[in-house]
Structure 1
Amino acid sequence: MSNVETILPGQWLGMVGGGQLARMFCYAAQRMGYKVAILDPDHFSPAGAVADKHICAAYDDTAALQQLAELCPAITTEFENVPAQSLNCLAEHSRVTPSGEAVSVVQDRIREKQFISKAGVPVVPHCVVHSMEDLLKADAALFPGILKAARFGYDGKGQARVQTKEQALEAFTNFGQVACVLESLQPLEDEISVVVARSLDGKTAIYTPSHNQHRDGILAVSTAANPCRLTPYHEQAKTAAIAIAESLNYYGVLCVEFFVLADGTLLANEIAPRPHNSGHFTIEACLSSQFEQQVRVMAGLPLGSPQDLQLSKMFNLLGDLWFDEHGHHQEPNWSALLALPGVYLHLYGKNEARKGRKMGHVTLLAPNAKQLQAKALQVAEILGFDWYE
């Protein structure tokens, strides 16, 4: 993108979406002196509570989109399921990062896998499913597998583990026979993700890969790798993430999730065209956070440094924490948690705690791995995370 005009602090930046990622974007932008307007249909959205202006309307509301575009010379989004046509509409008047075309690729698992493969990055063995017949013809080597709806899936939703073709047919029916991808279950050694920022002049800044542990399909804990002890597959993941961003002609912050097999083979799982849950450690642990990079890209500023300041680990805080074993409401022990040095609590301002709902996260910093693990065990005990070890 040539002849980029810099949008200076004091001007408006726009955000489509009002969740926690938009909220953390607001904090980063406002700290740098920008005013933020968000477009979100929820009157009580997390970002709406902190933004300078909240346009409360649907994401495809033409009048609302026009209002946002007239106010903001640059606009971004916090999630991939915003209608690509809405981003294209905004792009007629404002700088939009990422583009509607880039987002549309990621919105569909079928197009996404085709794109990643074309970029030269290996993906999980799979087949495309449009009909019952496709499943009946599926290679037996794909079982056991995971059937995933091609569109609108996140945090384990729109997915089903299937051992046999019969189970796959049942899951396909339960999904309403929408387009799907059937992926072979792999013997995973690890799951990692890489966040990369790409500026309007094509430069990139890439963060230390994170090791991710999921529970019930939702990210539970993410540990940034030691930047001084990166393995070959860490470096391979960073190279692959940059290749994907460049091939997508992507401007903004992007995360690529990878599977690591027992033999060290790296397989790309999916792309998130936005800041990512596994990148929240960057707020305290890096010179420039993923949200600051999002601001810098859309404003046409130079990228910040992704350098790590300390080792870090992040725990997600789900709504389950607000309920005891009998289902009665309780408040987590914040006093004990915040008595620990190097522990940073982020609550997202959501008005109702529900089981499985992301309510916040806590980031831990330490100068070495031994101290980080000791602190993590303390946090896990305070929060009742008996699964963590």
Structure 2
Amino acid sequence: MTAMAARSLGYRVQVMDPDSSCPARFVVDACFEGSWNDARAAANLARGCDVVTLEIEQVAIECLEAAGRYAPVRPGAAMMRIIQDRILQKEWLRGCGFPVGEYRAVTSAQEMAEAISMLGGRCFIKSAHGGYDGRSQVKVGFGSTCDAVEAWTMLGQRPCVVEKALELDREISVMVARSPRGEVKSFPSAMNHHENQILVWSVIPSSVAPEIEAGAQRIAREIADGFQLEGLLAVEMFLTKSGELLVNELAPRPHNSYHASERACVTSQFEQAVRAVCNLPLGDVSIVQPAAIVNLLGDLWLDKEGQPREPRFDQALAVPGVRLHLYEKHQPRKGRKMGHLSGVGAIPAEAVERVLEAKARL
């Protein structure tokens, strides 16, 4: 989607991916096959580029440094070192004065047990490195029998962050863009609904109270400036029932919760990513109309017995205002994001209603 936005601005595009038949392969000029820690492939990619960016935060620092010897890498390795480590990320946020929920960093099963007890028994435990969409995460104290020892083993016996469970009103995110020249623009906040730690649907705008919106925008912009961001940064936040805004996690790339920006805003997040890393003037982020997305997971391509089936896309597209976006991923798996439906409405609730109805028809 970013490559297609770059093409509309006249750029040629190269990608590096572990899969030579990756989704971007058929809309770019060249594809370099390489794992996220293949520094040689990253260097080969960068040799033919004027600027390099990324769309997944798992790319090894060595790759970013190798690419940086041939072209600017945006966002850069210094920022990515912090974001790739949840412990460093939490410490950076707290050290800079940004609001975060209670947490403890742990390096052993004993420390994990102590942290769970100190934080009230109901916690989310996340591996310090890797994982998203609910992977490398464990819940304890929610009626499950999972204890600290089991959680420590399930997460690979590696450093983890133990987060206290919060009483949430809702989850929101703010996408902020910053160019090398220092121009900053942030999109109106999106409201996000998760199930099993995977985003199910999202809508722009979030319709939070004006004072909450102003606070979320300020936090996102200050984080971008603090990092001297060059590119995009999605700031995921919790809004508690007491009205407190807390930063959850940072994603330095186009983000699932802003896929609806293609339809909601004057400038999509994908075009904004290109503008930001290429040091162009940033685009207008004003809302044209409310829009929502609902994710399509690989489960939809399987029947109750696990046999392949084709979703009824024609039925979904019969819902007014709904569009289909498929990612060209060849192998559907349970929990894997294969695409999304987007929908528009006169108000945010109508946009959400339309995409949910369309998904139900699949």
Alignment TM-score, normalising by the size of structure 1? 0.88
For the residues of structure 2 that align with 1:220 and 1:371, how far apart are their CA atoms?
16
Helix, strand or coil at the partner of 1:49: helix
Establish whether residue 332 from structure 1 lines up as the match of residue 288 from structure 2: no
- Matching residue of 2:131: 153
Establish whether residue 52 from structure 1 lines up as the match of residue 18 from structure 2: no
Residue of structure 2 aligned with 1:194, choices 159, 174, 177: 174
- Matching residue of 1:89: 66
In structure 2, relative to structure 1, the CA distance for the partners of 1:206 and 1:64 (3 Å cut) is: same
- Matching residue of 2:99: 122
Establish whether residue 143 from structure 1 lines up as the match of residue 121 from structure 2: yes
Q: How many residues align?
A: 359
Residue of structure 2 aligned with 1:275, choices 232, 240, 254: 254
- Matching residue of 1:99: 76
The range that moved more, 115-124 or 349-358, is 115-124
Establish whether residue 69 from structure 1 lines up as the match of residue 46 from structure 2: yes
- Matching residue of 2:202: 222
Structure 1: unaligned runs, 5 residues or longer: 1-23, 384-389
Cα RMSD of the aligned pairs, angstroms, is 1.9
Establish whether residue 167 from structure 1 lines up as the match of residue 153 from structure 2: no
For the residues of structure 1 that align with 2:5 and 2:353, how far apart are their CA atoms?
30
Establish whether residue 378 from structure 1 lines up as the match of residue 357 from structure 2: yes
- Matching residue of 2:223: 244
For the residues of structure 1 that align with 2:264 and 2:356, how far apart are their CA atoms?
19
CA contact 2:43–2:63 (8 Å) conserved in 1? no
Residue of structure 1 aligned with 2:185, choices 205, 209, 221: 205
Letter in 2 for 1:147: I
CA contact 1:147–1:180 (8 Å) conserved in 2? yes
Question: How far did residue 63 of structure 1 move?
Answer: 3.4
Residue of structure 1 aligned with 2:11, choices 34, 39, 45: 34
Helix, strand or coil at the partner of 1:74: coil
For the residues of structure 2 that align with 1:226 and 1:256, how far apart are their CA atoms?
14
CA contact 2:317–2:358 (8 Å) conserved in 1? no
Summarize deviations over 1:15-69 as a string: whole Å, max 9, x none.
xxxxxxxxx1111001111110011121221112221111112334343223222
Question: How far did residue 369 of structure 1 move?
Answer: 4.1
The range that moved more, 171-180 or 305-314, is 171-180
Alignment TM-score, normalising by the size of structure 2? 0.94
Question: How far did residue 246 of structure 1 move?
Answer: 0.8
CA contact 2:343–2:352 (8 Å) conserved in 1? no
In structure 2, relative to structure 1, the CA distance for the partners of 1:324 and 1:140 (3 Å cut) is: same
Summarize deviations over 1:270-304 as a string: whole Å, max 9, x none.
00011100000111221111111111112111101
For the residues of structure 1 that align with 2:128 and 2:287, how far apart are their CA atoms?
35
For the residues of structure 1 that align with 2:175 and 2:55, how far apart are their CA atoms?
14
Question: How far did residue 348 of structure 1 move?
Answer: 0.3
Summarize deviations over 1:292-327 as a string: whole Å, max 9, x none.
111111211110111111011110011111122333
Question: How far did residue 377 of structure 1 move?
Answer: 4.8
- Matching residue of 2:210: 231
For the residues of structure 2 that align with 1:133 and 1:312, how far apart are their CA atoms?
46
Helix, strand or coil at the partner of 1:295: helix
Establish whether residue 350 from structure 1 lines up as the match of residue 329 from structure 2: yes
Structure 2: unaligned runs, 5 residues or longer: none
For the residues of structure 1 that align with 2:353 and 2:107, how far apart are their CA atoms?
49
- Matching residue of 1:261: 240
Identity %: 38
